[in-house]
Amino acid sequence: MDLTTPRQTEILALARSSGRVTVDDLAARFAVTPQTIRKDLNDLCDRRLLQRVHGGAVVGSGTENLGYEARRMMAREEKRRIGARAAELIPDNSSLFINIGTTTEEVARCLLGRSGLVVVTNNINVANLLHAEPGIEVIVAGGVVRRSDGGIVGEATADFFRQFKVDHAVIGASAIDGDGALLDFDYREVRVSQAIIANARHVILVADRSKFDRTAPVRIGHMSQIHTFVTDGLPSDAVATLCREAGIRVEQVQGDPVDGEAT
């Protein structure tokens, strides 16, 4: 279906290049009111070209993930803050898994300069970030390398992770359902994530709040299986209650930490 205005065409191009657009940024860019932009976004969403989220819209359906560069650009500053906080939770002289994801890569970036770490990963980007660090031993899983993002996936990869029992796991998710289900797009990646969760003593989920606005078809597990959730904010009181009842420690990078249980 043809778009009705050149502005909508450009909005769609911007969304496809960066993964996400916001009402405020678009209003400033086109020198129009936020109400005008909201109408444009609603029109695009009605045509299923974009998906509406709080404050803007994203590209992507519930069956196919965004491209790697688009995902890397989405919530970029939030991911950096999340990565820095998650890295602070990992002590020197410990072992950890780091799985596939642009947010988990930010955690790895914040581990540069640390000492005594053993990092087991199926993320080539993480391995490239850390392999030259004298204080970090990097162990890379075997398996099929996904061309789209350098992730290593498959049953052989899952079997590889089952050989270990590590102190911490840093995991991401493509989407988080309102009932606490952790979701992804590639069933091969999900099998690996499940093995990672099962073989770590402490599981740290890193995800910005936009993941609650997205959907994906394959279930990794449930938030009750994690111990710490590092995020830029919880989307609702219901999710906060879910975390509290499951005993999940929530670290909000833009505010004071909120514990799953009172401390």
Please state the φ and ψ torsions of residue 258, each to the nearest 5 degrees.
-120, 120
Taking domain 76-252, whether its CATH number is 3.40.50.1360 is answered by: yes
Give residue 263's pLDDT.
Answer: 31
pLDDT band, very low/low/confident/very high, at 98 (cuts 50, 70, 90): very high
- How large is the average pLDDT for residues 67-78? 65
Residues 51, 214 contacting (CB under 8 angstroms):
yes
Residues 153, 171 contacting (CB under 8 angstroms):
no
- How large is the average pLDDT for residues 47-54? 79
> Average pLDDT, whole number, for the chain?
87
d(Cα 212, Cα 73) in Å, to the nearest integer? 17
The pTM assigned to this predicted structure is 0.76
- What does the pLDDT look like over 234-257, one tens digit per residue? 989 999 999 999 999 999 997 444
Tokens representing residue 157 in the block: 């990869």
- What does the pLDDT look like over 195-238, one tens digit per residue? 999 999 999 999 998 888 888 899 999 999 999 999 999 989 99
Helix segments in 67-154, DSSP class H: 68-73, 76-88, 102-109, 124-130
Strands 166-171 and 200-206: parallel
Tokens 């989407």, residue located:
175
Give residue 58's pLDDT.
Answer: 80
Tokens 């509290």, residue located:
244
d(Cα 22, Cα 41) in Å, to the nearest integer? 10
Give residue 261's pLDDT.
Answer: 38
| CB-CB neighbours of 190 under 10 Å | 23
| Residue 60 clears pLDDT 70, i.e. is over it | no
Give residue 6's pLDDT.
Answer: 87
Give the start-to-end residue ranges of the domains of the chain. 6-59, 76-252
Q: Please, how many CA atoms are within 13 Å of residue 236, restricted to the half-sphere of its CB?
A: 13
Residues 92, 162 contacting (CB under 8 angstroms):
no
| Topology adopted by domain 6-59 | Arc Repressor Mutant, subunit A (1.10.10)
- The pLDDT > 90 percentage for the chain reads 63
Give residue 138's pLDDT.
Answer: 98
Residue 247, classed as helix, strand or coil, is: coil
Q: CA of 127: how far to CAs of 21, 71, 111, 122, 136, in Å?
A: 31, 19, 12, 8, 10
Tokens 């992507």, residue located:
60
